[in-house]
Amino acid sequence: MRMLRSEIIELFDKFLAKKGFKVEAISTTIKLRTLSKSELLFTKLIGLGDRIGRDEDDILAMKPTREEMIEAFQWAKNYDGTPRWDTHLLGRLQPRLEKLGYGL
C-alpha cells in the first residue's frame, strides 16, 4: 500500500501528539534512514548471541550470502568483551549457517 506524503505526515503528527509532543509546525519533508542489510545483519547476530528470540528467524528470512555472514561474524565477534564471546557466538551461529547451506 502506497501512502501519500500528506497521509504520512498526518499519521506522524498524530503519533507525536499521542506521545505528548506539541507540534507547532511540521515540514513537508520527512527524511528517514534505515539500517542497511549488513547493519541489520550485524545487529541480528549480536541478538543471536545475547538472547533467545526471533533473531534466528529474521536472519534466515534475510537470506544472507555466505560472504555477508562471514562479514557479519567478523564484526560481531569483536562486539562483546566477554571472554570467549567469539566462541559462544560461533556456537550459536553454526546451526544457522547449516540451515542456510553454508558449512564452516
Cell readout for 93 is 551461529
What single DSSP character describes residue 24? S
Cell readout for 58 is 529474521
Same domain, 16 and 49: no
Same domain, 28 and 52: no
Is pLDDT of 3 > 70? no
Same domain, 44 and 93: yes
Same domain, 96 and 49: yes
Same domain, 44 and 78: yes
Alpha carbons 42 and 45: distance in angstroms, whole number? 5
What single DSSP character describes residue 19? T
Alpha carbons 92 and 99: distance in angstroms, whole number? 12
Inter-CA distances, 59 with 36, 64, 71, 76, 91, Å: 14, 7, 14, 14, 15
Kindly report whether the global pTM for this prediction surpasses the value 0.75: no
Domain count, the chain: 2
- The range of the structural domain enclosing residue 20 comes to 1-32
Write out pLDDT tens, residues 21-70: 766 665 666 666 778 899 999 999 898 888 877 888 898 899 999 899 88
Of 99, 103, 89, 104, the closest CA to residue 59 belongs to 99
